Structure 1
Amino acid sequence: MDCPARQDAVAAARALGPAIAAAADGVEATRRIPPALAEALHAARLFRLLLPRSVGGEEVDPGTYLRAIAEVARHDASVAWNVFVGNSAALIAAFLAPAEAAAIFADPRTVVAWGPPNEAVAEAVPGGYRVSGRFDFASGCRLANWMGVHCRVREKDGTLRPNHLGRPAVRTLLFPARQAELLDTWQTIGLRGTASDSYTVTDVFVPEAFSTTREQPEARREPGRLYAFTMQGLYAVGVAGVALGAARAMLDAFVVLAQDKTPRGLGKLAEDALVQHGLARAEAQHGAARAWLLEILAEIMAGAGPEGAIGTAERARVRLGCAHAIHAAVEVADWCHRAAGVDAIFPGSPFERRFRDIHTLSQQIQSRSAHFTAAGQVMLGRAPPGFL
């Protein structure tokens, strides 16, 4: 496939900032990204940052990806969430044969969406699989032209197919979005514009060639150091980017507010020593978390090989850096919200929606404190089997 010239992903995201900001209220109200903005995101190739160059992608390094997602999130977290989830799903191309990857991503506006694994089971049939079931949390499904499911597989003899660890294997099945029925279920306090709706599939046949697994990163077909990272690890990088971008926006908005606000009975906010102290601490916390994660990603990228996958210790470092960045960003956002006082509680303020968005993000699986435990286990030589 002919590949267009690579773009500066961060500059492309920054250039779209005004358009994203202008659409943010509508994204929140309608729970959808408007067509004009979706088209602009595609034109800027922001849904192709992690897609292999062999199928027309940008294949940027993880640090550049983090910075691009954070730049989008400065203007709207829901839009950034859609962009990161679309990129995360595009990583599946590295595990498909070239013809199938090209069939899915030949359209420059392709977006793949799916929900996390659940109790659904696909039936192994000649030539592929048949699957029915309901799946939830399909962020970006309203933009998708391809969808997928992650599910276990029942063999003809009734047994569940095992993976390399002897556990029930979870296989990813991909199919055109028209074969799924979308359900309007995403009514949440934050990240409303992600349209992370539910969907059902009924007796959908998926050919074997349009299936793969995310459980064995070393089985990738696509060469390149980017694909030595696990899909799950790069997913966490995307969440961290959204969190860091939203917190950055709240810090910047607070600095503007503090120049003018004079709380009743007190001096100007910017002249309060406690505010000065808290702002400096929040800035340092945000910057340190961002810089450490970028350092981790750069070091691991430099040491990654063109084949195979990064080791367990490196996977744990990615996980730890992402979890730390997410938690730090939430703490920074909380400080900004408290310090802004009553100005933070009204819809339309620079703080209210971002506060709801980042606390919705904080409930997502990538934000769990359990990631610190898992990283500590690896550091102490007690890595959980199959750690990704």
Structure 2
Amino acid sequence: MSITATSPGADAGHIESAAAQAERLVPLLAERAAEADEADRFVAENYALLKEAGLVEAGVPRELGGGGAGIRDLAEMLRLLAHGCSSTALAFSMHTHQVAVPAFRWRHQQATAVEPLLRRVAAERIILLSSGGSDWIGGSGTAEKVEGGYRVSGRKVFSSGSPAGDLLMTGAVLHGEEGDSVIHFAAPMKAPEIRVLDTWRALGMRGTGSHEIAIEDLFIPEAGVSVKRRAGEWHPLFQIIATIAFPLIYAAYLGVAERAGELALAMAARKPPSEDRLALAGRMETSLRAARLAHRWMVEAAERNAPSAETVNDVMTGKAILAEHAIRAAELSMELGGGESFLRSNGLERLFRDIQGARFHPLQSGPQARYAGAMALGLPVSRIF
């Protein structure tokens, strides 16, 4: 089946939304989901579909050649993709937020320095990788100052989509007499100093290609450094990232929980009704409703277009609520489905495994609770991450 993307230059009234295009892909993604999971195989064919459908550039402003999708439409796109393939949605959320962050900076902060990157995404459909698993507030890897720039080395774990990546949006720690700092830069994945290590063997989300990336003595010119910040504390850039990225990433997990619920209801409908099944279905639906409400809260916080410590708190509180209830909904879906939900052939146990990933993105439960508590008590949060 061929997917035809709507031209970003078409009349605005005739541009199909990113979510509508994603919905058309769901059956195709679903056909391959089990195979990718069973073989620990990256969903490369699905990335080809995403490119063909124009979803790679969906978040690029229309003025720069993209689809001009906002946070809400991008989140809906990812939620729907997860109904077809969890791994595709989660891996693609990493590219999507790496586009949405510079798009926000271009539109709301007049950051013209990000324009060439956004134009490349639109024109060439390059894939951006996130090394968020390694490069949270503390940073990782090492940078050594040399003439004209830096020499960088390190290992970047959980780099979802790495087999398809063109640019790794990452950083490295520079040790100095006045304390450590972190430099941020885009590393070309085709550079000989960069290797993707075949390490992704996981409980769930097996098709995300979240391999470890090794960087060995890569030269980054001074002009290639986009941001330099103090290590180990929140920076305004990370307030933007946290506010924008997590409504997108967790849209994928919401979609996984919803799909698990759909399968469980279909299984239950084939059996005689009972009071216990009614109760299980009701509890599952209640958890799903809580997850949806939490996600709506996250999206609304991002749509204020004013990232701050407060929006980080709102998004991360929503994330914690969504994760708890999405995981609980998946657990209840297994119970509602009964013994057949334990069989791999029905797909429900795969979704149950996939949803467990919602536990592990920052802020994890401990730091999130401490951040929320410090905010409530009017205490500093700059080093809580």
Amino acid at match of 2:124: P
- Displacement after TM superposition at 1:207 (Å): 2.2
Distance 1:372 1:202, change over 3 A: same
Partner of 1:336: 333
Partner of 1:138: 159
- Displacement after TM superposition at 1:137 (Å): 1.3
Q: Residues 247 and 299 of structure 2 are in contact (CA less than 8 Å); yes or no, is this contact kept in structure 1?
A: no
Equivalent in 197, 202, 211 of residue 197 of structure 1: 211
Deviations 1:119-175 (A, max 9, x none): 421112333221122222111111101124321124xxxx1675xxxxx32222212
Q: Residues 13 and 71 of structure 1 are in contact (CA less than 8 Å); yes or no, is this contact kept in structure 2?
A: yes
Equivalent in 84, 90, 108 of residue 93 of structure 2: 84
Partner of 1:105: 121
Deviations 1:66-86 (A, max 9, x none): 222111111211000111011
Equivalent in 240, 245, 251 of residue 235 of structure 1: 245
Partner of 2:26: 17
Partner of 2:185: 173
- Displacement after TM superposition at 1:52 (Å): 4.2
Deviations 1:269-289 (A, max 9, x none): xx1112212212221221233
CA distance in 1, matches of 2:264, 2:204: 20
Amino acid at match of 2:113: A
CA distance in 1, matches of 2:78, 2:297: 17
Q: Residues 181 and 228 of structure 2 are in contact (CA less than 8 Å); yes or no, is this contact kept in structure 1?
A: no
Q: How many residues matched? A: 357
The DSSP-based 3-state class of the residue aligned with 1:198 is strand
- Displacement after TM superposition at 1:184 (Å): 0.1
Partner of 1:326: 323
Partner of 1:265: none
Compare 272-281 and 45-54 and name the one that shifted more: 45-54
- Displacement after TM superposition at 1:236 (Å): 1.9
Distance 1:133 1:295, change over 3 A: closer
Compare 103-112 and 13-22 and name the one that shifted more: 103-112
Two-structure CA RMSD over aligned residues (Å): 2.8
- Displacement after TM superposition at 1:32 (Å): 3.6
Distance 1:369 1:386, change over 3 A: closer
Tell me whether 1:315 sits opposite 2:312 in the alignment: yes
Q: Residues 301 and 311 of structure 2 are in contact (CA less than 8 Å); yes or no, is this contact kept in structure 1?
A: no
Partner of 2:108: none
Q: Residues 69 and 242 of structure 1 are in contact (CA less than 8 Å); yes or no, is this contact kept in structure 2?
A: yes
CA distance in 2, matches of 1:52, 1:27: 33
- Displacement after TM superposition at 1:87 (Å): 1.2
Structure 2 segments unaligned to the other structure (5+ residues) = 1-6, 106-110
- Displacement after TM superposition at 1:214 (Å): 8.6
Q: Residues 242 and 312 of structure 2 are in contact (CA less than 8 Å); yes or no, is this contact kept in structure 1?
A: no
CA distance in 2, matches of 1:203, 1:110: 24
The DSSP-based 3-state class of the residue aligned with 1:173 is strand
Structure 1 segments unaligned to the other structure (5+ residues) = 163-167, 221-228, 262-267
Partner of 2:257: 247
Distance 1:386 1:133, change over 3 A: closer
Amino acid at match of 1:255: L
Distance 1:295 1:368, change over 3 A: closer
The DSSP-based 3-state class of the residue aligned with 1:182 is strand
- Displacement after TM superposition at 1:320 (Å): 0.9
Amino acid at match of 2:207: G
Partner of 1:63: 72
Distance 1:160 1:337, change over 3 A: farther
Q: Residues 66 and 122 of structure 2 are in contact (CA less than 8 Å); yes or no, is this contact kept in structure 1?
A: no
Equivalent in 131, 143, 161 of residue 122 of structure 1: 143
- Displacement after TM superposition at 1:351 (Å): 0.8
Q: Residues 239 and 326 of structure 1 are in contact (CA less than 8 Å); yes or no, is this contact kept in structure 2?
A: no
- Displacement after TM superposition at 1:255 (Å): 1.0
Partner of 2:196: 182
Partner of 1:382: 379
Deviations 1:174-201 (A, max 9, x none): 1211121111000111111011101212
Deviations 1:313-362 (A, max 9, x none): 22211111122112110011011112322212111213111111111332
CA distance in 1, matches of 2:261, 2:55: 25
Compare 354-363 and 118-127 and name the one that shifted more: 118-127
Amino acid at match of 2:25: L
Compare 60-69 and 288-297 and name the one that shifted more: 288-297
Q: Residues 191 and 361 of structure 1 are in contact (CA less than 8 Å); yes or no, is this contact kept in structure 2?
A: no
Compare 52-61 and 80-89 and name the one that shifted more: 52-61
- Alignment TM-score, normalising by the size of structure 1: 0.82
CA distance in 1, matches of 2:97, 2:298: 19
Amino acid at match of 1:97: A
Partner of 2:362: 365
Distance 1:199 1:290, change over 3 A: same
The DSSP-based 3-state class of the residue aligned with 2:313 is helix
Distance 1:103 1:241, change over 3 A: closer
Q: Residues 374 and 381 of structure 2 are in contact (CA less than 8 Å); yes or no, is this contact kept in structure 1?
A: yes
Amino acid at match of 1:276: L
Q: Residues 57 and 125 of structure 2 are in contact (CA less than 8 Å); yes or no, is this contact kept in structure 1?
A: no
The DSSP-based 3-state class of the residue aligned with 2:190 is helix
Amino acid at match of 2:85: D
The DSSP-based 3-state class of the residue aligned with 1:74 is helix
Deviations 1:215-247 (A, max 9, x none): 676569xxxxxxxx6112322223321211111
